[in-house]
Amino acid sequence: MANSNKIFNTDSLITEDWNGGYKLELDLSAKSDANDWQLDFNLPYSIQTAYGVDLIDNGNGNYSINGQNDQVNLTSGQSIKPILIVDDSGQEALKLEFDAVSVDVVTPEPEPEPMNPPAGNPGNPVNIPDSPGQPVGQQG
């Protein structure tokens, strides 16, 4: 079942299930730019290995994942497909539900303001009259 929050479309799929564990493939697609993103979730089992994301075990079945290397920041429409290897001790394999979300959104830099013209000059070009130079005496 696909989940949707304000930053990501998320889905998880159990691709392998064996006695004692299973392989869970995630599909995370950014709906807008996300900088230093992190997704939090609960799972009553122990995650043995994570591929494609950094995994943080917060204790009591609470986990967080965030991007690795060039996937720390995701652009709108970019998706990643991390894999988790889960130890379920022979229990039913469960998909992930991302309920608590912590994501920083990239905000574009504001456009620089045009320089204000000096006081008394409304920004019109300055005309300097063309006049003949005057000789200057030299002393050596």
Low-confidence ranges of the chain (pLDDT < 50): 1-4, 100-102, 104-108
Q: What is the pLDDT of residue 64?
A: 93
| DSSP of 66-135 | EE-GGGSEE-TT-EE--EEEEE-TTS--------SEEEEEP-PPPPPPPPPPPTT--SPPPP--------
Q: What is the pLDDT of residue 135?
A: 62
DSSP letter (8 states) at residue 61: T
How many CB atoms within 10 Å of residue 45? 18
Residue with tokens 């070009």: 125
Q: What is the pLDDT of residue 119?
A: 58
The H or E element spanning position 73 is: strand 73-74
Q: What is the pLDDT of residue 115?
A: 57
Q: What is the pLDDT of residue 67?
A: 92
Task: Enter the pTM of the model.
Answer: 0.67
Tell whether the torsion through CA atoms of 70, 74, 76 and 79 is positive or negative: positive
